[in-house]
Amino acid sequence: MAEGRPPETRTADRDDVDRFARQAGDWWDEEGAFAPLHRINPVRLQFIRDGFCRHFGRDASSLRPFENLNILDIGCGGGLLTEPMARLGAAVTGIDAAPEGVSAARAHARRAGLEIDYRAMLPEEMAATGRTFDAVLNMEVVEHVADAEAFFEACGRLVRPGGAMVVATLNRTLKSLAFGKVAAEYILRWVPAGTHDWRQFVKPSELARHLRRAGFDVADLKGMAYDPATGDWSLAGDVDINYLMFAVRR
């Protein structure tokens, strides 16, 4: 497949894609530009693993519970979630609008000895191929999407009936403006300034509406809480800043 930038960037926000492309080499630096994603990775993975294990009737204490599951990771970046899916036994495809990120992801997976199908591609392009997946990861992507309507419509076509999708994003509340954007970008310097546009943040009610329209039922909603003492994140009831949604395709 040609490794060029996707010709028609419809759903992806051009500026965001370019910004991520410039940081492609940093994805796996645990203390680098994407440190916050490394920090929230365990709790995101807990939600994903437990959700998929429950939904598909798998054993969460086994080492490869996702054996024989086809999983698509949308906006995979350097593969921070794609690689764990492969380790858990899934056949994984990772797509991202930034080809630079995809190359970095591919090189890293090779060194880590993991087999992952990475492609520089938008979800609507993948949907156009007619391929469907048992499960789709849609993590911290929505807030970088230019056309949410078209984006979720594509997601709806990518998940097979009875399949599942996990969506994680930032809520549009004053708290998320203060913490998610201002604190994370300017005070704590977790992510480069300008990473997020608060106006692109999505409220859980808006996300649920998009999902229902695209053919999903919302099965679970959880927030993420940060413990400044340990630096760890945990699943919580407070959805004011980050939240995760588990959706099942009708």
Residue 238 binds other proteins, judged by CB under 8 A: no
Report the chain's C-alpha Rg in angstroms.
17
Residue 228 binds other proteins, judged by CB under 8 A: no
In contact, 92 and 64? CB cutoff 8 Å: no
Instruction: Please say which residue, 137 or 214, places its beta carbon nearer to other proteins.
Output: 137
Length of the chain, in residues = 250
**Which residue type, as a one-letter code, is found at position 189?**
R
Instruction: Please say which residue, 56 or 198, places its beta carbon nearer to other proteins.
Output: 56
Tokens describing residue 242: 């980050």
User: In whole angstroms, what is the distance from residue 2 CA to residue 24 CA?
Assistant: 19
Q: Nearest distance from residue 39's CB to other proteins, in Å?
A: 7
Alpha helices in 57-94, H assignment, sequence order: 82-87
- Residues between 198 and 227 with contacts to other proteins, criterion CB under 8 A: none
Nearest to 159 by CA among 133, 137, 141: 133
**CB-side neighbour CA atoms (13 Å) of 223:** 14
Tokens describing residue 187: 């005070």
Instruction: Please say which residue, 30 or 149, places its beta carbon nearer to other proteins.
Output: 30
Question: What's the 3-state SS for 126-179?
Answer: HHHCCCCEEEEEEECCHHHECCHHHHHHHHHHHEEEEEEEEEEEECCCHHHHHH
Q: Nearest distance from residue 155's CB to other proteins, in Å?
A: 22
Residue 113 binds other proteins, judged by CB under 8 A: yes
**CA 121 distance to own-chain centroid:** 15
Interaction mask 10-49, other proteins, x per CB under 8 A: ------------------x-xx------xx-xx--xx--x
Instruction: Please say which residue, 62 or 162, places its beta carbon nearer to other proteins.
Output: 62
- Residues between 144 and 203 with contacts to other proteins, criterion CB under 8 A: none
Applying CB under 8 A, which of residues 12, 88, 95, 166 lies at the interface with other proteins? Answer: 88
Q: How many residues bind other proteins (CB under 8 A)?
A: 26
Instruction: Please say which residue, 30 or 197, places its beta carbon nearer to other proteins.
Output: 30
Residue 87 binds other proteins, judged by CB under 8 A: yes
Interaction mask 56-75, other proteins, x per CB under 8 A: ----xxxx------------
Binding footprint of other proteins on the chain (CB under 8 A): 28, 30-31, 38-39, 41-42, 45-46, 49, 60-63, 83-88, 108, 111-113, 230, 232
